[in-house]
Amino acid sequence: MSETQPSWKVLPHGTPSEIDENILTVTGTIEMPLLQLPRRMTVARLADARLVVWSAIALDDAGMKKIEAYGEPAWLVVPNDHHRLDAGAWKRRYPRLRVVAPEGARKKIEEAVPVDTTAPHFGDPKVRFVVVPGTRGHEAALVVENRSGTTLVLNDIVANIRGAKGFGGWLLGLMGFAGDEPHVPRPIALMLVDDKAALKRQLLEWAGIETLRRIIVSHGDPITSDPQQALRDLAASLE
């Protein structure tokens, strides 16, 4: 997903839906040689109704109208340099967007879109941007709190692609992106992780959030069944 779209190009996607109060999400697919890669955009609504758009996907008119009815797009988070595909198109559509990226990925992301900040202050303490330790400063996360609990939004560092079928599904599994449980994909571990101990500490810190209700990942299904234990298992897999 490291390429960029020169214009607003709509690829297959679903309907944006509210997964929890002030959190909207929508899935799509990218056609790749021999397989389809599922992807996900997540939108967090701030207290003032402005939106933080995570891993942007260019949607059709109906989808974009639903996003705009939800709030004003104000922040665009490009969570690593493999998620630049639609970032430039979003910035052209919404010139006032402030673009956010982790510092380690900034140079590559700026080939697609200018980055305004690597340390955003969204004006709402319930939505926090985190650069994931142990990833060379290349991977970001969001922590979103609301009345029902906490949602952790991760990007490539954890995948949860279940039930992948056919040759493409087999290939996703062979590549380490699909499986029977949440996992750190092997290619991502090789490309991004430079300090397993630091990443493990962060996963365990998140596992200690008593109010954690779900983990949303950019590739695969949300993790809603005992997300704390899922994080502990992920940490153990790094040993």
| Segment 39-49 mean pLDDT | 97
User: Does 3 score more than 90 pLDDT?
Assistant: no
Residue 2 has pLDDT above 60, yes or no: no
User: Could you report the per-residue pLDDT of 210-235, keeping only the tens digit for each?
Assistant: 999 999 999 999 999 999 999 999 99
Q: For residue 98, which of 120, 129, 123 has the smallest C-alpha distance? A: 120
Mean pLDDT value across residues 45-70? 98
The pTM is what? 0.93
Tell me the pLDDT band of 28, cut-offs 50, 70 and 90: very high
Q: Give the model confidence (pLDDT) of 171-182 as tens digits.
A: 666 676 766 788
pLDDT value at position 164? 65
The pLDDT value recorded for residue 7 is: 85
The arithmetic mean of pLDDT across residues 132-149, rounded, is 97
pLDDT given at position 31? 78
Is 17-237 a domain of CATH 3.50.7.10? no
What pLDDT does residue 170 have?
A: 64
- Give the least confident one: 27-31, 111-115, 152-156, 219-223: 27-31
What is the Cα–Cα distance from 109 to 117, expressed in whole angstroms?
12
What are the extents of the domains in the chain? 17-237
1: pLDDT strictly greater than 50 = no
pLDDT at residue 103 in the model: 97
The distance of Cα 1 from the centroid of its chain, to the nearest Å, equals 13
DSSP string computed for 137-190: T--EEEEEEETTEEEEE--SSSBBB-S--HHHHHHHHHHTSB-SS-B--HHHHH
